[in-house]
Structure 1
Amino acid sequence: MFRFHDIDDRERASDGVSRYGAYLRQNIGRFADWGELVTADPAVFSRAAWEVATSPVMSPPYLDWTAERVQSVTFTASEHDGSLVARVQLAVPRPAALASVRGFAEWDRWNGGYCEPYDDAVARCPAMLTSTLVLFTISTGDLWRPLHAPDLDVRDAKRAVKRLAAALEARLSPIIRTLDTAPIGAAQ
């Protein structure tokens, strides 16, 4: 469900080591927590590592997703227990309550994803694009704890995003599989 561009990361590195590492150094402020240069808090560290690894910070990104329905993945800190709250927006079929509403286009399917139609298509026909927001927590015990803090180390950041991607895939795979295998007319 997630793709890491490790070969491109090395081959396109301005420092000869890691392109992602260069972006990490440019965004070191994202890793600060309570006056520390780089936090040892796994939730803060993992969230920052993910933000830097993905678009729009890195373009092209170090990490992207291959699941067509995934529109966005963001994280917030839980005020309850310090865990991360994953916020994943998924393109879904129009719900039954709206199925009879006519005159609206659906999601465009191209370039490996569910996409908003271009302005010219919307000028010809309005669109009703339905999605769902999946929220779940990832406990700090399931996150990568940076070994090199207060220094920022690219190996720690890569391990953090790979651990997050594994947690996301475990939670999202059954949902996406169900949506993608629904009978014709029930899913698109």
Structure 2
Amino acid sequence: MSEPVAFWIDHEYDRERATDGRSRYGEHLRRNAEEFAPALDDISPVSFACTAWRIATSPELSPGYVRWHRRILSAVCVRNQWDGTLTARVELVSPRPATLAWSPDWQGDRQWRDWPQTFGQFLEPSEQDLVKTSYLRGTLLAQTPIPLDGLPEAPQEPQDDLPETARRTIVLLVRRLNEAVTPIVRQLELW
């Protein structure tokens, strides 16, 4: 069994599902080019990278251009308001903290359940489940800076190869996020 990774791009799926035969993500980028307007011709690649990531993980592309491990609930890239750098926020499914896992004293008469799972996927409990059962679902919030070196400059105009620049940006973001988050995912998988 191979070691899990946090993020990946399924290039084959993207190409096979594209109406132009090249890239479903590229088609989606061209349809949503106006979202890049504030980032075009920006001296910093941060705004462009955040927009490219948002579109690559958009529910409209279900499954997204960027896919992630079953333990990852969300992953966003944002501009740090303090200095304008790039920060990632990744929310992950986690086991209960050890202080709550080993002692039944805090539970009272309740039997708390962990994350419901179906076919290995972590799910939100349904409204019906919440009527009869208590859930204590642990999450972790990983926030990490993403170095800007290597990120392509934002195009100056939307007609400048927007899809190719966005793809190169996403490939680099996936690599950097994997460096930060994959060790966490691997450790959580031991749970």
- Give the structure-2-normalised TM-score: 0.81
Where do 5+ consecutive residues of structure 1 fail to align?
Answer: 182-186
Deviations 1:38-74 (A, max 9, x none): 6563211111111111131312321211x22111101
In structure 2, distance between residues paired with 1:95 and 1:54: 29
Deviations 1:64-91 (A, max 9, x none): 11x2211110111012332211000011
Structure 1 counterpart of 2:112, which letter? F
Where do 5+ consecutive residues of structure 2 fail to align?
Answer: none
Instruction: Say whether the 8 Å CA contact 1:82–1:140 is kept in structure 2.
Output: no
In structure 1, distance between residues paired with 2:78 and 2:35: 13
Structure 1 counterpart of 2:90, which letter? V
- Residue 184 of structure 1: aligned partner: none
Does residue 30 of the first structure (1) align with residue 32 of the second (2)? no
In structure 2, distance between residues paired with 1:61 and 1:96: 34
Partner residue of 2:57 out of 49, 54, 58:
54
Query: Closer, same or farther in 2 for the Cα pair 1:143/1:81, shift >3 Å?
Result: farther
- Residue 143 of structure 1: aligned partner: 151
Query: Closer, same or farther in 2 for the Cα pair 1:109/1:97, shift >3 Å?
Result: same
In structure 1, distance between residues paired with 2:166 and 2:85: 17
Query: Closer, same or farther in 2 for the Cα pair 1:14/1:39, shift >3 Å?
Result: farther
In structure 2, distance between residues paired with 1:16 and 1:176: 34
Computed over aligned residues only, the root mean square deviation of the Cα atoms, in angstroms, reads: 2.2
Instruction: Say whether the 8 Å CA contact 2:15–2:21 is kept in structure 1.
Output: yes
Query: Closer, same or farther in 2 for the Cα pair 1:158/1:134, shift >3 Å?
Result: same
Of structures 1 and 2, the one scoring higher in RCO (CA 8 A, sep 6+) is 2
Instruction: Say whether the 8 Å CA contact 2:112–2:134 is kept in structure 1.
Output: yes
Counterparts of 1:87-126 in structure 2 under 5 Å? 87-99=89-101, 100=104, 101=107, 102-126=110-134
Instruction: Say whether the 8 Å CA contact 1:73–1:89 is kept in structure 2.
Output: yes
Instruction: Say whether the 8 Å CA contact 2:8–2:174 is kept in structure 1.
Output: no
Instruction: Say whether the 8 Å CA contact 2:73–2:90 is kept in structure 1.
Output: yes
Q: How many residues align?
A: 178
Counterparts of 1:1-188 in structure 2 under 5 Å? 1=5, 2-33=7-38, 36=40, 39=42, 41-65=44-68, 67-99=69-101, 100=104, 101=107, 102-146=110-154, 148-150=155-157, 151-181=160-190, 187=191
Structure 2 counterpart of 1:61, which letter? G
Structure 2 counterpart of 1:88, which letter? V
**Identity across the alignment (%):** 34
- Give the structure-1-normalised TM-score: 0.82
Structure 1 counterpart of 2:129, which letter? A
Query: Closer, same or farther in 2 for the Cα pair 1:142/1:94, shift >3 Å?
Result: farther
